[in-house]
Structures are given as structure tokens and as C-alpha cells.
């Protein structure tokens, strides 16, 4: 995957910034129907044992550029509380949750679609329909070992656009597959469903009840307010 990611990054690196700026000027698709009022909460405030590895706030992602200004992760409150319950169950088995991404503004989804090669589109969401990340009901995550604090090894890497990412991929080691399946069992027990091409991506069961959003992290919960509150 290292070489694949390098090739993708080299092709799209010069396109990311102008594409991001253009995407921010666009608007999400209009939706019909009634939706729940958004109630996005910061994951580390709901469960302080969650570790963050928000690659999209760094150049260490498939675009080769930071697309988030802040390394933070949010979910709709029911999804965040369900994630915390999954985390408690996993801690009893010696593992914690490490989150790569949660809520994602729609303009970032549009950027991902534009810079991803056609043969890799299954790994990104079509902005014309929006992403479950845009609704605050999808989370990308892995496990970390409570004894060492280090992420565990899975059959494939995060955001790897190959067959190794599929939830039923039979390769890798027995231990890697065991940990992948352990994460899946804990998440499914709390109402999450895996996106089969990506072992790390889970959608919360109520995602259809929330609208597509395009608000920035600082608009949800400014850091300065959290600092004054003692967090």
C-alpha cells in the first residue's frame, strides 16, 4: 500500500488545495423529509480512553495534504454513546479504540471524490448522495493494546485501497484477522454496521435520520470554549 499511496499522492498533490477551496464554495445536495436535529459531540469528551489518530489533519493520508484544520473527531450523540459502550466492552478484553475519523464536512467528501482515481471510487462516497460521515454517523477506527498503548496490526492499513481492506479478506495473520473480527463484533453489538470494503469503517444504525452537514469543527465546538470549561 505504501507504494500505491505514494503514486496516488504524487498525481493528486497539486490538485488538492484548489479543489478543497472550490469544494468549500459548493453546497451539499438538497434532501427531502424530516431529520433529527444534529447533536454532534466530541468523542474524547464522551470517552476519554479513546485515542485519536486523525490522519486528515496531517499530510499522512491518501491525498498527501491536510484537509482538516484540527485533529478532532465528532459523532451524533447516540452514535458517540454507542461507541463508548463498545469501547468499554473491548477494554475488558485488553483493547481500546483509536479513531481515525468521525463526522466529515461535506466539502471534504467532495474533494475526496474528485481526487480519487475511477478504479478506486468504491473507497470514497459520491458527494451527490453524501456520506454517512457527513451525517455524523460513521466512524473510522482500529484497536490499540491497553498494555502498550500501541495500535494493533490489522490485515491491511487504514485507507488502503486494495483487497486487503475488505472485511472478509482471508489473508494476513490469524492474529490480525482475530483482532479485525473482535472489533467488528464489539461494534455490531452496539448498532454499528461495517462497510464491507473497509474493515475500519462503521455506520451507526440511525444514520438515515440525520441530515448531510457541511459545518467545520470549530463551528461545532470552538477550542477556546472548551479551554475555558477546563477541558
C-beta of residue 65 within 8 angstroms of C-beta of residue 15: no
Rounded CA gap, 101 and 96, in Å?
16
Kindly name the residue from 174, 188, 198, 209 that is annotated as catalytic.
Answer: 198
C-beta of residue 63 within 8 angstroms of C-beta of residue 163: no
Cell numbers given for 210: 440525520
Cell numbers given for 138: 460513521
CB hemisphere CA count around 69 (13 angstroms): 9
Tell me whether residue 188 is one of the annotated catalytic residues.
no
96 Cβ neighbours under 8 A, 6+ residues apart = 49, 50, 51, 87, 90, 143, 144, 145, 146
Cell numbers given for 16: 488538492
| Residues taking part in catalysis | 198
Amino acid at each position: 500500500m505504501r507504494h500505491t499511496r505514494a503514486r496516488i499522492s504524487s498525481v493528486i498533490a497539486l490538485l488538492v488545495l484548489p479543489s478543497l477551496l472550490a469544494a468549500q464554495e459548493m453546497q451539499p445536495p438538497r434532501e427531502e423529509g424530516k431529520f433529527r436535529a444534529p447533536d454532534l459531540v466530541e468523542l474524547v469528551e464522551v470517552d476519554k480512553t479513546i485515542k485519536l489518530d486523525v490522519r486528515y489533519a496531517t499530510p499522512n493520508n491518501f491525498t498527501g495534504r491536510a484537509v482538516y484544520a484540527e485533529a478532532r473527531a465528532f459523532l451524533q450523540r447516540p452514535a458517540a454513546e454507542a461507541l463508548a459502550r463498545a469501547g468499554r466492552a473491548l477494554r475488558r478484553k485488553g483493547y481500546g479504540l483509536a479513531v481515525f475519523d468521525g463526522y466529515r464536512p461535506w466539502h471534504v467528501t467532495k474533494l475526496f471524490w474528485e481526487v480519487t482515481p475511477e478504479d478506486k471510487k468504491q473507497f470514497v462516497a459520491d458527494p451527490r448522495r453524501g456520506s454517512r460521515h457527513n451525517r455524523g454517523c460513521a466512524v473510522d477506527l482500529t484497536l490499540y493494546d491497553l498494555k502498550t498503548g500501541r495500535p494493533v496490526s490489522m490485515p491491511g492499513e487504514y485507507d488502503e485501497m486494495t483487497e486487503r481492506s475488505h472485511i472478509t479478506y482471508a489473508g494476513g495473520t490469524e492474529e490480525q484477522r482475530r483482532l479485525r473480527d473482535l472489533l467488528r463484533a464489539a461494534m455490531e453489538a452496539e448498532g454499528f454496521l461495517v462497510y464491507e470494503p473497509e474493515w475500519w469503517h462503521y455506520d451507526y444504525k440511525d444514520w438515515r435520520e440525520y441530515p448531510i452537514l457541511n459545518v467545520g469543527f470549530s463551528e461545532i465546538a470552538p477550542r477556546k470554549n472548551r479551554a475555558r470549561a477546563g477541558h
